Every structure is written in C-alpha cells, then in structure tokens.
Amino acid sequence: MSLYDDAGWGAYTHDSVNLAQAVKNSYYVLTAWDGDHLIGMMRVVGDGVTISYIQDILVKKKYKRRKIGTKLLTKTIEHFKSVRQTVLLTDNKEETVGFYKAMGFEDCKDMGLISFARINRS
C-alpha cells in the first residue's frame, strides 16, 4: 500500500482488499527491496504467451534516479521476451515518455496503432 500511496495512486489504496486481490491475481510481480522495506514493484497482467500488459511500475520517490525502475523493467522484458507484445498506459509526461522510449517502447501512433481505454469511475 505504501508504494501506491507514495505514488499518489489513491484510486488503488482506497480499497486495500481489492488491491491485494489485484496483486495476487497478477500474472507476474517483481519487487525491489531495501532491507525489509519494499521500495519498488512491477506488476504485469496477461496470458504470458501473446500479450503482457504492464499494469504498475512503482518506485518510492526517495529511491528514484537509482535505476531501480530500469532494473525492474529490464528483468520484466527479459522474462517476457518470447511474448509478441508488451503494452502499457502511462502518464504523458516528458520524463515518463523518455524513460519508456529509452527502454525500447514506442508510441502506438508511431506504429500505425491507436489505443483506447475505458475507466469505470464509480
């Protein structure tokens, strides 16, 4: 919970039971630790064959700029190297876009694709 709180993702933390179930039901979860403190997490949903969807990549603010996110994503990419497509949605911020592009991700529009999302706000 503290990772999500630290990231300001209150939509996730208002229901700790649902968040725990979401993490449990994930196809793949990778974590980063500083001693006994959880400082980073990567969470992927998908089928493990044709698609992997990066749902969450979180690193506590005070640990950013230490390549923790890079290591989590690199290990995840390696884990899913035989999967045809890995996709994600992210904030349209220069720093975030730059990070994913540096990791080999492309904007869908540059591949002749468009993405859609439907968010249930209730």
pLDDT tens profile 27-51: 999 999 999 999 999 999 999 999 9
Q: Which of 29, 46, 28 is nearest to 84 (CA)?
A: 46
Distances (CA, A) of 51 to 36, 84, 105: 32, 6, 14
Q: How confident is the model at residue 8 (pLDDT cuts 50, 70, 90)?
A: confident
pTM for the structure as a whole? 0.88
Percent of the chain with pLDDT over 90: 80
CA terminus-to-terminus distance, the chain: 21
Q: Which residue has the tokens 């045809």?
A: 84
Which residue segments constitute the domains of the chain, with CATH numbers given? 2-111 (3.40.630.30)
Is the CB of residue 51 less than 8 Å from the CB of residue 115?
no
Q: Tens digits of per-residue pLDDT, 53-109? A: 999 999 999 999 999 999 999 999 999 999 999 999 998 999 999 999 999 999 999
